[in-house]
């Protein structure tokens, strides 16, 4: 599974930063992204990434199965 | 369909809030999009997905002339919440760096200290009004320091907030007078602050900011300060107060959170979802638009009832139950879309830390008067268990 943030939708709620801090990062304005080396979701991070996606108020987190 | 507008006298202010969760439930089932005659007339949306769609479609559902209905005692558009694109983003960006996770983390030790001190000062022998002693002063101290509102002025703030936010519905003249006073207060404060432009607080950021290569005008600065004053203090106080109201009636949740303070962020999301400080905000249709079969005309006001969307049975299991370890909890307590509450992460952190410290410092508590309303920033009287009892 891969994860990215649709930057056109992210409004900086930072729910993903709370729920999956290993995977997401924010810029100086508080908008989220997934660093390149974190975009492939390892098994250990799957649960937290899925929780972040389900709780994103803007539905801005994009999950794609390989 | 005999009724084209589904008319009811729905209201979301004052005493209407007492039973508003029952009202929402009925509306979602019988009248999910309807028309109220209050405040000059407005459409209202109560379903989670309709609110989300409207929030995302800011071209159709604009904020001008104001998302406040009725107004906060002034007809001046408040920056940035009453500003539509394209100007909106530039006003908002000025303050975004102050509310990033890193910035909030840096503020947290101070929040802990203030919450601990306030909680420690509460006399647990009699009945304590924890709205007055805890829920209101915490955001006043934290946000005022961040904003640059001088400490000697803090004692004046609560009355202004009560008159502008709570009395505006029944007593618009009282709200207008208070609004005039707050504008005069910031007029004076901004004049003094021009002599010290380098300070690292919100007013400093606003004074140094440029939009389209120009500094904000004095009127823009006044509008921004006025909005921050109302948004930064009252909403967080409400969140802390309503969470304590809920916990006072749920001893099991109190004990669990006392044992496991790391669960507090999850619990706070649930309190925010179910007891949202901002129950609804207004938009204005910029064109004729149909929502759930109802025909909304250009120029009509449309109220987005976040508090109802947050309890929509189509979105949440046991949607009216307050479940402190609810994991699936995507909600609209801070709104969504481009007008998402700018201070949401500060508000969240203040609520989490406040409740953690309250439970850590103080013995188990109950409502001193069982019929106290869940809402607002009015008194919240608690009685505490005797130590060792």
pLDDT tens digits for range A29-49 = 999 999 999 999 999 999 999
Separation of alpha carbons A38 and A4, rounded Å:
9
Q: Identify the pLDDT of residue B5.
A: 76
Q: Identify the pLDDT of residue B8.
A: 86
**B338 touching chain A per CB within 8 A:** yes
Q: What is the DSSP letter of B61?
A: E
Q: What mean pLDDT do residues B368-383 have? A: 94
Q: Could you list the residue range(s) of the whole structural domain that residue A15 is in? A: 2-64
Give how far B100 is from chain A: nearest CA, Å. Answer: 5
C-beta atoms of A30 and B96 within 8 A: yes
Crossing angle of helices B344-361 and B218-248, rounded to 10°: 40
**A7 touching chain B per CB within 8 A:** no
Residue of A nearest to B94 (CA): A29
Q: What mean pLDDT do residues B239-244 have? A: 98
What average pLDDT does chain B have?
96
Place of tokens 């409207």: B54
pLDDT at B134 over 50: yes
List residues bridging with A26 in a β-sheet: A32
Separation of alpha carbons B374 and B334, rounded Å:
19
Going by pLDDT thresholds of 50, 70 and 90, the confidence category of residue A66 is confident
Residue of A nearest to B98 (CA): A29
* Residues 258-297 of chain B whose Cβ lies under 8 A from any Cβ of chain A: 265
**A14 touching chain B per CB within 8 A:** yes
Find, among A56, A64, A5, the residue nearest to B52 by Cα: A56
C-beta atoms of B328 and A18 within 8 A: no
CATH of the domain at A34: 3.30.70.20
pLDDT at B357 over 50: yes
Is residue B308 within 8 A of residue B302, CB to CB? The reply is no
User: Could you report the per-residue pLDDT of B294-312, keeping only the tens digit for each?
Assistant: 999 999 999 999 999 999 9
B14-384: which CATH topology? Cytochrome p450 (1.10.630)
Going by pLDDT thresholds of 50, 70 and 90, the confidence category of residue B286 is very high
C-beta atoms of A12 and B101 within 8 A: no
Going by pLDDT thresholds of 50, 70 and 90, the confidence category of residue B3 is low
* 3 state SS of B362: coil
Going by pLDDT thresholds of 50, 70 and 90, the confidence category of residue B197 is confident
Going by pLDDT thresholds of 50, 70 and 90, the confidence category of residue B2 is very low
Separation of alpha carbons A11 and B367, rounded Å:
38
Is residue A45 within 8 A of residue A53, CB to CB? The reply is no
Residues of B in contact with A6 (CB under 8 A): none
Q: Identify the pLDDT of residue B259.
A: 98
Q: Identify the pLDDT of residue B1.
A: 43
| DSSP letter string, B163-174 | IIIISTTT-HHH
- Asked if ipTM goes beyond 0.85, one says yes
Helix (H) or strand (E) holding A4: strand A2-5
CA distances from B97 to A26, A28, B318 (A): 11, 6, 37
- Where are the domains positioned within chain B? 14-384
| DSSP letter string, B270-332 | HHHHHT-S---EEEEESS-EEETTEEEPTT-EEEE-HHHHTT-TTTSTTTTS--TT-------
For chain B, percent of residues with pLDDT exceeding 70: 98
What average pLDDT does chain A have?
97
Overall pTM surpassing 0.90 (yes/no): yes
Number of domains in chain A: 1
For chain B, percent of residues with pLDDT exceeding 90: 95
**B337 touching chain A per CB within 8 A:** yes
Going by pLDDT thresholds of 50, 70 and 90, the confidence category of residue B389 is low
**B93 touching chain A per CB within 8 A:** yes
Is residue B128 within 8 A of residue B120, CB to CB? The reply is no
Separation of alpha carbons B256 and B72, rounded Å:
40
Q: How many CB atoms lie within 10 A of CB B61?
A: 26
Helix (H) or strand (E) holding B248: helix B218-248
**A8 touching chain B per CB within 8 A:** no
Q: What mean pLDDT do residues B82-88 have? A: 96
Q: Identify the pLDDT of residue B309.
A: 98
Separation of alpha carbons B204 and B116, rounded Å:
29
Separation of alpha carbons B58 and B286, rounded Å:
9
C-beta atoms of A29 and B97 within 8 A: yes
pLDDT at B22 over 80: yes
**B329 touching chain A per CB within 8 A:** yes
Separation of alpha carbons B83 and B67, rounded Å:
9
Q: Identify the pLDDT of residue B388.
A: 58
With b meaning 16 or more CB within 10 Å and e meaning fewer, what string describes B69-79? bebbbbebbbb
- Which tokens sit at B229? 């004053």
Is residue A30 within 8 A of residue A14, CB to CB? The reply is yes
C-beta atoms of A29 and B101 within 8 A: no
Q: Who's near B319: CB < 8 A, 6+ residues apart? A: B311, B312, B313
Place of tokens 């509008």: B223
């Amino acid at each position: 599974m891969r994860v990215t943030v649709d930057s056109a939708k992210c409004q900086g709620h930072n729910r993903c930063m709370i729920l999956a801090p290993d995977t997401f990062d924010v810029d100086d304005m508080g908008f989220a992204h997934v660093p390149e080396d974190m975009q492939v979701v390892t098994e250990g991070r799957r649960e937290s990434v899925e929780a972040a996606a389900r709780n994103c108020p803007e539905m801005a987190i994009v999950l794609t199965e390989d | 369909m005999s009724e084209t507008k589904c008319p009811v006298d729905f209201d979301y202010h004052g005493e209407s809030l007492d039973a508003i969760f029952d009202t929402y439930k009925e509306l979602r089932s019988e009248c999910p999009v309807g028309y109220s005659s209050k405040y000059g007339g407005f459409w209202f949306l109560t379903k989670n997905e309709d609110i989300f769609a409207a929030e995302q479609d800011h071209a159709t559902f604009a904020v001008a002339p104001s998302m406040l209905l009725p107004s906060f005692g002034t007809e001046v558009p408040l920056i940035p919440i009453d500003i539509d694109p394209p100007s909106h983003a530039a006003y908002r960006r000025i303050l975004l760096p102050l509310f990033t996770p890193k910035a909030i983390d840096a503020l947290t030790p101070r929040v802990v200290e203030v919450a601990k001190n306030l909680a420690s000062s509460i006399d647990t022998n009699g009945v304590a009004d924890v709205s007055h002693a805890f829920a209101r002063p915490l955001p006043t101290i934290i946000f005022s320091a961040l904003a640059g509102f001088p400490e000697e002025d803090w004692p004046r703030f609560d009355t202004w907030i009560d008159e502008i936010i709570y009395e505006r519905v029944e007593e618009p003249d009282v709200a207008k007078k208070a609004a005039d006073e707050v504008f005069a207060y910031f007029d004076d404060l901004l004049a003094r602050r021009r002599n010290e432009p380098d300070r690292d607080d919100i007013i400093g950021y606003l004074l140094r900011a440029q939009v389209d290569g120009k500094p904000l005008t004095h009127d823009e600065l006044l509008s921004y300060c006025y909005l921050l004053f109302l948004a930064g203090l009252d909403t967080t106080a409400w969140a802390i107060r309503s969470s304590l109201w809920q916990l006072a009636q749920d001893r099991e949740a109190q004990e669990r959170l006392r044992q496991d303070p790391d669960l507090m962020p999850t619990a706070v999301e649930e309190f925010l979802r179910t007891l949202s400080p901002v129950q609804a905000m207004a938009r204005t249709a910029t064109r004729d638009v149909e929502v759930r079969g109802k025909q909304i005309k250009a120029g009509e006001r449309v109220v987005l009832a976040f508090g109802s969307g947050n309890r929509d049975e189509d979105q949440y299991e046991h949607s009216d139950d307050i479940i402190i370890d609810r994991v699936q909890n995507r909600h609209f307590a801070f709104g969504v879309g481009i007008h998402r509450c700018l201070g949401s992460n500060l508000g969240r952190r203040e609520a989490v830390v406040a409740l953690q410290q309250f439970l850590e410092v103080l013995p188990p508590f109950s409502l001193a008067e069982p019929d106290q309303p869940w809402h607002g920033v009015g008194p919240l009287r608690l009685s505490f268990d005797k130590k060792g009892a």
